[in-house]
Amino acid sequence: EALFKNISSTRICNLALHARTEFTPRANPEKTSIQSLIKPNELGYIPHTSSKMLYNGPDVHNPLLELPEGAPDVCAIVSNGRTYSPQTRRRRVAQEEQTIVPGLGWGLVDGMAQNGYCDGTYNSECGRQSTFNCLLSGHNDGRAGMLFDSYSGWLVLTLPQIKEGAIATKIESWHGAGSA
């Protein structure tokens, strides 16, 4: 606790944060996920959700989402005329020889991972797995995370643009075996 107080009071408040998460919604989902930092293991595997989206593209029009006559168009004001444009997924992998080999036992908590482009906007393509009971809800909220145990091996991440700073992780160790 004393160490955290010292770090948080003197360094954290003066550093630019470059956070990554599997929680959704988030801006630029492909660039802000933990998956975008993971070095593939010897089989080329990077943890991902195994559930598939039932369909792609925009949802059918929902008349309940129309603005009442005379109401301000908040989406137009907030977007400032910008159009939605999902980013393409790119990964950088270190070229130099590594002594730590990525493990084979890492995965995503599949029941909570959202697939698609979950950025929280009206036209996001998210939460369309066959297990969802309301595909038109536009629900972007997901609390996914990395799943691992003592046999998983190393999780090797490439952290771009790191010169100095602190690395913090949230590890929920209280979940029992098979609870994901």
**Beta strand spans in the chain (E):** 23-24, 107-108, 116-117, 125-126, 142-143, 146-147
C-alpha–C-alpha distance, residues 174 and 31, integer Å: 29
C-alpha–C-alpha distance, residues 180 and 162, integer Å: 32
Is 49 within 8 Å of 110 (Cβ atoms)? Answer: yes
Average pLDDT over residues 37-60: 84
Q: Return the higher-pLDDT residue of 13 and 126.
A: 126
Give the pLDDT score at 2.
57
Is 114 within 8 Å of 33 (Cβ atoms)? Answer: no
C-alpha–C-alpha distance, residues 126 and 49, integer Å: 13
Q: What CA–CA distances, in Å, run from 151 to 45, 58, 103, 148? A: 16, 41, 9, 8
pLDDT tens for each residue of 69-111: 888 777 666 665 544 344 433 344 445 555 788 888 888 876 6
pLDDT tens for each residue of 136-167: 777 788 888 888 887 888 888 888 877 777 77
Which one-letter DSSP state was computed for residue 74? H
Percent of the chain whose predicted confidence (pLDDT) is above 90:
0
pTM for the whole thing? 0.61
